[in-house]
Amino acid sequence: MTARTGLIIGKFYPLHAGHVSLIERAAREVDRLVVLVMATQLETIPLERRVAWVTTATAKLGSVTVLGILDDAPVHYDSEIAWVAHHEVTLAALRSGGIRTIDVVFSSENYGAELAERLGAVHVLDDLERRRIPMSGTAAREGLAERWDRLAEPARLDLATRIVVIGAESTGTTTLSEALRAHYRARPGYEAIADVDEYGRRFTYELHARAMAESHASGSPEPAIDDLVWLPEHFAHIARTQTAMEQAAALVSCLVIADTDAFATSLWERRYVGAHSRAAHEAATTGLPRRDLYLVTDHVGVPFDQDGWRDGEHIRPEMTNWIVDGLTTRGLPWVLLRGPHETRLDYAIEVIDALIEKNTTFASPTWADVTRLADGSGR
């Protein structure tokens, strides 16, 4: 029996559950499936990011090949010059992947029949009315926050606006994080914002509890917080867990507000283990998700509150410098927040609003398809 090659083309702008469902169906029905990502430079999300989304989402489907190509030709379905332009781009993309023949074209659009005919292939129309999964790229672009759970996981992880609140001890990071989350949860579509608290503090409690249990078992004196023995592997675990918490939060909301992160953990490792220790380094560099902004809570003018678990007021100036110097060296965006809590909160909201606007606005050329779901929303 001759092997069959299938083709799906799309903008995947952004990649959503309907796209993934179509790809999974097509992969079951052909021996090899080519998914061609076609982007225009007039759109906001670059081609390479969309190719990465589709590649990640289809990684477990062994028969799928993902290709990408820029296609700036205007779309006019009743125009021969437009069809020729798009057809030639499609053929060039397929040749770049060593593909000469397409047997089946899968699509959820009426234009798929014409595309299949020009390629000498059979057309399979899948869920034109979007009844199986009421979702499309247009719908996502028009209401990203409200339809966040219908985006494919790689797109959510990449598109989430990520704000990290970071600072030395007792500088108001937790207070600011909680206030920001409360502010944005009041907005429609943002109710699911997750808590991303400071896992290192929880781990400290657990480490102290273990040390207490060991002292009771051995009959030795109970350890104070300063008696805890910190190891490099502790910080590696904290850093990885902190990032995992952040990633989980990105899957449930398009806005993540994290109270510290793996980068901060690497600085505390430096503090407690020494500059030679780099156990948390990978999680704080190559393993660190894309960042939109660090909000650095300044120690100046903030009274130190010793709750029995903190290192001490004397370390705060040095720690603030470590933070801003580390962020600057790595080219990560940061804003220092000095002043009373309400002033910090208002200033932070101003910049976060601007970042949300940037990250949830999708530019499209004038000829881009606009379709509607049954409820009148974008399709």
Structure confidence by residue, pLDDT tens digits, 132-185: 889 999 999 999 999 999 999 999 999 999 999 999 988 999 999 999 999 999
**Which pair of structure tokens corresponds to residue 118?**
């020009």
In this predicted structure, the answer to whether residue 122 has a pLDDT above a threshold of 50 is yes
Task: Give the DSSP H or E segment for 106.
Answer: strand 104-107
Q: Which CATH superfamily is domain 154-359 in?
A: P-loop containing nucleotide triphosphate hydrolases (3.40.50.300)
In this predicted structure, the answer to whether residue 378 has a pLDDT above a threshold of 90 is no
For residues 82 and 2, the answer to whether their CB atoms sit within 8 Å is no
Positions of CATH 3.40.50.300 in the chain: 154-359
- What share of the chain has pLDDT > 90, as a percent? 79
Report the pLDDT averaged over residues 17-34.
96
What does the pLDDT read at residue 331?
A: 96
What does the pLDDT read at residue 379?
A: 40
**Which pair of structure tokens corresponds to residue 309?**
């678990």
CB-count burial class (<10 Å; 0-12, 13-18, 19+) for 337: buried
For residues 310 and 178, the answer to whether their CB atoms sit within 8 Å is no
In this predicted structure, the answer to whether residue 111 has a pLDDT above a threshold of 80 is yes
In this predicted structure, the answer to whether residue 309 has a pLDDT above a threshold of 60 is no
CB-count burial class (<10 Å; 0-12, 13-18, 19+) for 125: middle
Alpha helices in 12-171 (DSSP H): 17-29, 47-57, 80-96, 111-119, 137-142, 153-159
Structure confidence by residue, pLDDT tens digits, 255-292: 999 999 999 999 999 988 888 888 999 999 999 999 99
For residues 23 and 35, the answer to whether their CB atoms sit within 8 Å is yes
Positions of CATH 3.40.50.620 in the chain: 5-142
What does the pLDDT read at residue 271?
A: 87
Which pLDDT band, with edges at 50, 70 and 90, does 21 fall under?
very high
Report the pLDDT averaged over residues 228-247.
94
- What share of the chain has pLDDT > 70, as a percent? 96
Structure confidence by residue, pLDDT tens digits, 205-237: 898 889 899 889 898 888 887 888 889 999 999
For residue 293, what are the β-bridge partners? Answer: 163
In this predicted structure, the answer to whether residue 307 has a pLDDT above a threshold of 80 is no
Q: Quote the CA–CA distance of 91 and 119 in Å, as a whole number.
A: 9
The pTM score is 0.92
What does the pLDDT read at residue 277?
A: 85
**Which pair of structure tokens corresponds to residue 33?**
């499936």
What does the pLDDT read at residue 163?
A: 98
Least confident window among 200-209, 291-300, 324-333, 362-371: 362-371
What does the pLDDT read at residue 3?
A: 79
Contacts of 309 (CB under 8 A, 6+ apart): 201, 204, 205, 225
Q: Which CATH superfamily is domain 5-142 in?
A: HUPs (3.40.50.620)
Structure confidence by residue, pLDDT tens digits, 28-67: 999 999 999 999 999 999 999 999 999 999 999 989 999 9
**Closest residue by Cα to residue 72 from 360, 366, 362, 358:** 366
Q: Quote the CA–CA distance of 2 and 9 in Å, as a whole number.
A: 23
